[in-house]
């Protein structure tokens, strides 16, 4: 597993699979896939570490912002990662959550009782949520995205102002 190579290739999502053990499938923006020998939780930690992000602090901060303790979206590397359950555990303690980049999610579809996430690369991945729950997770991710871009824009304005390139004034 080489997280830097995966990031350069463009990660669309990653999720746990049972293939010769508990492993992680990574889907790239070009539609190609690979299976990593590490568990999904470790892959998530490695991704956060690559971007110098404290995962524990991030999850705590996000939970406080959204008022929800578990299964919150995460902002890592400038992307909002939406968690969805993608399998049912075989053994207690197996991770069932996959992470999907919000901007690559094109929508949800339902076939009979099954709900699928449609990704920009054209693949559909089954999730184990009711459609209402999946929509709630997407809405929470969109809230974080709006906040993230607002803060980022403000930081850019402040940086430009320090450099004398932009003067931010409130007009009354």
pLDDT tens-digit map of 115-124: 999 999 999 9
* Residue 171 scores a pLDDT above 50: no
In a domain, 168, yes or no: no
The total number of structural domains that make up the chain: 1
- Summarised one tens digit per residue, pLDDT across range 29-73 is 999 999 999 999 999 999 999 999 999 999 998 998 888 888 899
pLDDT of residue 164: 67
In a domain, 141, yes or no: yes
In a domain, 169, yes or no: no
> Domain range spanning residue 111?
3-162
In a domain, 131, yes or no: yes
In a domain, 171, yes or no: no
Q: Report long-range pairs for 44-50 (Cβ below 8 Å, ≥24 apart).
A: 44/14, 44/99, 46/1, 46/3, 47/3, 47/7, 47/11, 47/76, 47/77, 48/74, 48/76, 50/3, 50/4, 50/7, 50/77
């Amino acid at each position: 597993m080489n997280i830097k190579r995966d990031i350069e290739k463009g990660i669309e999502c990653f999720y746990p699979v049972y293939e010769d053990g508990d492993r992680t499938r990574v889907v790239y923006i070009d539609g190609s896939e690979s299976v990593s020998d590490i568990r999904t939780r470790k892959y998530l930690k490695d991704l956060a570490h690559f971007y110098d992000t404290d995962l524990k602090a991030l999850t705590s901060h996000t939970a406080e912002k959204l008022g929800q303790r578990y299964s919150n979206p995460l902002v890592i590397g400038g992307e909002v990662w939406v968690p969805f359950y993608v399998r049912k555990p075989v053994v207690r303690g197996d991770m069932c959550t996959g992470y999907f980049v919000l901007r690559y999610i094109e929508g949800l579809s339902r076939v009979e009782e099954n709900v699928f996430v449609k990704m920009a690369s054209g693949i559909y991945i089954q999730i184990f949520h009711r459609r209402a729950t999946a929509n709630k997770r997407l809405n929470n991710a969109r809230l974080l995205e709006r906040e993230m871009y607002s803060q980022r824009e403000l930081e850019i304005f402040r940086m430009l102002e320090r450099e004398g390139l932009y003067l931010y004034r409130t007009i009354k």
